[in-house]
Structure 1
Amino acid sequence: MNHIPVEQWKKYVEDELEPVERERCEAHLIVCDLCLEQYMQCLEQSEGLPLPDDEAAFAAAAMNRFDELCTSQERNAALTVLPAARRDARLPLLHHPFFHYAVAAVITLILMGSGVFQTITQQIAHIEPDSANAAEPADEPFSKIIMNHTLGMLDSIQPKRERGSTP
């Protein structure tokens, strides 16, 4: 890749290049990081870009120039970009958290109304009739009580052959 010398970047910053050469330099800035670094150094060393004395007048002149260059369709398209982006930023219904909470609530109500939860608790009491009626010791941790009940339920589900006994 042929790099542009620093002297040419200085001329570019000071606007002393021909339009064709300026376009070549601008195209090269896009692809070359080393030349971009040199260009930035030349900008820092120069007197800098001229700032407008009256910013309001500068903004008005820029808007007038924008109006001259753009057709009405282009202007409308440029001005409607932001609202379109806001519309796209909205979450679809299936991804909205409220939708997920509503579905979970409906499923819970259906299971409660059909008696599934009551059947499950009756099955656990049927599997371990002694533990359902007996009071647990007060000094045993609750997590251990849950673990014992879970293990008892899993043992009743597991076939006897897998536990090592003969049929």
Structure 2
Amino acid sequence: MSHYNHRQWKRYADNIIDEQQQKEMECHLVDCDDCLETYLSIIEGTKINEVVSLVNMDFANNVMRQINTQEIKTSIKSNKKRKKSSDILLYYVAAACITLAFFSSGVFDFIGYYIPKTTVQLVDTTRSRELLASGWTERLIDLDLEDLTKQDWGDRFEKKE
């Protein structure tokens, strides 16, 4: 098996050879690992050179600069979140102070003025019903006890004819 040299593979990579020789070299690449390595090293070298010429020399610096600006924006956002949470705490403290001021000035006394009256009325009606119910049963028990004391025990057990 004859191997192709570096210059021939370079011409193949640049597509400068005729069609017949190109087909022969492709078939040889399938069978020969050494030539395949040579061809791949040529392609890598040319592709890297092409990419280097396309990429700006300041590319890495530009990327790093953008990363730094992103970090600054992220830190600003986290500072805003901390500030927002401290603002919320401040709002709660202010609301609590205003509520205490309203309590001490008696503003809420007028709001709750009608509620205790209705509650007292409900409690009173329930209580009077309980008193009526318990009073009736107590009177009945008292009457039975009075009847028992008035009658003689012997009369109760006598046969009635």
Q: Using structure 1 for the length normalisation, give the TM-score.
A: 0.30
Comparing both structures, which one devotes a greater share of its residues to helix?
A: 2
Q: Using structure 2 for the length normalisation, give the TM-score.
A: 0.31
